[in-house]
Chain A
Amino acid sequence: MSTPMYNCVPFAFLFECFLILATFSFNLETSLINSPQKLTMNSQNFQHILSWEAGNNTTVPTYYHVQYIALSSKKEWKDAEECSNTTRLFCNLTKEYDDYENSYIALLKSFTEHGVFNLSSPDFSPYRATYLGPPIVNLTACPGCINVTVKLPAVYLKEKSLIDIYKKLDYSTTVESSDRKEKTSANETSEECFSYVIRSLRLNTNYCVSVAVTASLNSHSIPSALKCIITKSTTRKGDGTIPILSGGLVSFVLGVLLIGLYKGGFICLKSGPWPKVLETTNTLHCSVHVPDPEIVCSVQIIHKEIIKKEWEYCDDDDDDDSGSDSENSDEYTKRGILGRIVNSHAKSNTFVQQSIDCASAESSSQAIKLLDSDAENSEEDQSVIKENESTSKVLFHPSSEVNHSSTSDLRNSACFNINLSTVMLRDPEKTWDESTTLVTHQEDEVDLQDYCAFEEFESKPFTNIDYSKRPDCHNSSHEWQKPSVSDESDTSDSEYIRR
């Protein structure tokens, strides 16, 4: 039994020594080779950097050599530039991986004085594996919203951009506030620079925004750093008051305008008909047919032959006065008779000698002209008052209504009103039966007015009396009403008597 024990002990010792030696040798070998570890590819925006870590034994000098191959029909290993015999622990393969749709394998060779150690990377497709971003983000605040402007990063490829490579990119937004975090995705863009608005945010609150960009076959992305901004409060205070003030001002101006128009009589609130009294306003003024102020002249009419004829007339009408006619006739010859229109037969040789003491002597000549013209025009209905030179004018206040009182103011005026309808014309050679009354036409009255025409009136046809002038009817009516109303039949007598 003791002999087996003696056999086992040396065997175990030997085995143990072998193990120790093996371990040491292995470690020695690795330390001698100094194999790199953790070969990783960091790719961002098509910038590819292969990096590794040095071996355990840092004292041993190691040189690195990087090769790469494109997984296509060309089975050639190529040397990476700037990565030959380098002691750096990284290699930039951006230029080497130029065909971004292809796949590449990188081979790291580490050289030590003891040997070469190869380490290969997994197949790498830049199109599918490069990290996209971070995009450049700018924020501007608005009321309850944030305006985000995103610019895609540049690509480490010649004359290319992210949109050129991927045509279309998706972007997602992360909005963080003090209490919650929200991510919105499913947005597309095909522009290098784009903007959008994040709505439905609280007013006057601090929000932090981050944007990430991905492609359809490349979900690797680096989000932008959080950028924070405070959303604006409500719109400006003045925005509400300005329209209110302007509206109030406009309405005030309109109100003032309307009031002014109403006061001025341009706007009538009452829509009823005018009272009847007012309807006749236009006609009332000039119903009196008062002409413009005339120059009243006192005229002395000296009747001569007329007297006789008139008396003849009076004898027929008024027997009472017949007796005193002769006496009166003498009186008449002595006194001047106030001018009175005498419408006698045209053939009668009546003429009136009148003296005028008017201020306007010129007008008399003009009046004479009128008279002459009238005389030419008229025939039997109109009396022809002519004299050599000193024919005067007879004033008349034409009115059919006031013919009674027309003989007023005999003292001052020389005008009488004669109701022509009562005047009888007679040819002395004929009988009374054949006498005709004066035709009381409007034309006659007009002609009468012509006789009374003075400077102001002469140029105007009487048919076109300007009613708008509205002669002062009150004053004229006073003139009218001053004398006592006497009978029509006595007018002629009364005149004579007074004189």
Chain B
Amino acid sequence: MATKTQGRLCLWQLCQLLLFSAGVMSLDCNLLHHQQSKFNRYSLQLLQKTGRSFPLECLGDLTAFQFPEKVLKHKFPQHAQMAAHEILQQLFGIFSRNLLQTRWEKGDVELFRNGLHLQTKHLEKCLSTKGGRPILRLKRYFQRIKDFLEKKKYSTCAWETVRLEAQRCFLYMDKLTVMMKN
């Protein structure tokens, strides 16, 4: 008799576990856009705080990198999620490069990079598919930034230009986050 009741309890607990886990997992991705919105705000503040005002002497290095705005016109949440994931991943890659010539606070930069990494992983959990044409466009865009940095030899002004562009990226991220919400 005791074994039967124990068996029944185990089965019931298993059922509960499955149900709750399903709920928990779905909840995580349902609140993704809220969490992403918070991340965007925090990261942008960090980025603004890291450098001070844009130096006037670097005005000559200003370059139009031409962000692919077609990405923002895809209205499917999955596409927006994929685009956001790609942007964060690329930014992480860029800001992991040679920052020696910058006068930025290292602590702030580290925080910024860690946040990027975590959010990238978070988005990966909720993504079902990867790739697609908008991703290619984004890849080309970030390649242009990387090429610019290399060309300018990671100078202070180059980094300031890149920082300015990264701030603009977060504006696009904010729009993508709104699209991520069904």
Contact = CB atoms under 8 A, between A and B. Distances in A.
A52 interface: no
B9 interface: no
Contact of B63 (A73, A122, A123, A127): A73
B103 to A, nearest CB: 15
Contacts of A71: 54, 59, 62, 164
Given A72-B62, A75-B59, A101 B171 contact: yes
Contacts of B56: 105, 120
Given A71-B54, A120-B56, A216-B177, A127 B62 contact: no
Nearest to B51: A123
A72 B53 contact: no
Contact of A73 (B40, B41, B62): B62
Given A69-B59, A75-B59, A123-B53, A216 B167 contact: no
A492 B53 CA distance: 152
Contact of B41 (A75, A122, A167, A216): A216
Interface string B58-70: 0110111000000
Nearest to B171: A101
Interface in A136-192: 167-168
A206 interface: no
A101 B40 CA distance: 16
Interface string A65-85: 000010111010000000000
A73 B165 CA distance: 11
A217 B44 contact: yes
Interface of A is mostly: loop
A112 to B, nearest CB: 22
A289 interface: no
B158 to A, nearest CB: 14
Interface in A68-127: 69, 71-73, 75, 101, 103, 105, 120-123, 125, 127
Residue of A69, A72, A128, A216 with most partner-chain B CB within 10 A:
A216
A91 to B, nearest CB: 18
B41 A217 contact: yes
A127 B175 CA distance: 13
A251 interface: no
A122 B53 contact: yes
A232 to B, nearest CB: 36
Residue of B40, B52, B56 with most partner-chain A CB within 10 A:
B56
A72 B177 contact: no
B170 interface: yes
Contacts of A121: 53
Nearest to A216: B37
Interface string B156-182: 000000001001101100110110000
Interface residues of A, number: 20
A494 interface: no
Interface string B27-60: 0000000000100110010001000111010011
A219 interface: yes
Contact of A217 (B54, B64, B164, B174): B174
A128 B44 contact: yes
Contacts of B53: 105, 120-123
A127 B171 contact: yes
A216 B170 CA distance: 11
Nearest to B52: A122
B54 A103 contact: yes
Interface string A347-379: 000000000000000000000000000000000
Given A71-B54, A123-B54, A217 B170 contact: yes
A72 B170 CA distance: 16
Contacts of B59: 69, 71, 75
Contacts of A168: 178
A101 B167 CA distance: 10
A124 to B, nearest CB: 9
Nearest to B177: A216
B35 to A, nearest CB: 12
Contacts of B168: 101
A73 B177 CA distance: 27
Nearest to B64: A73
In order of increasing CB-CB distance, the 4 nearest A-B pairs are: A122-B53, A73-B64, A123-B54, A216-B37
Given A71-B54, A123-B53, A216-B37, 13 more contacts: A73-B62, A73-B64, A75-B59, A75-B60, A105-B53, A105-B56, A122-B53, A123-B164, A128-B44, A167-B175, A168-B178, A217-B41, A217-B174
11 contacts: A71-B54, A71-B59, A71-B164, A73-B64, A101-B168, A101-B171, A103-B54, A105-B54, A122-B52, A217-B44, A217-B174
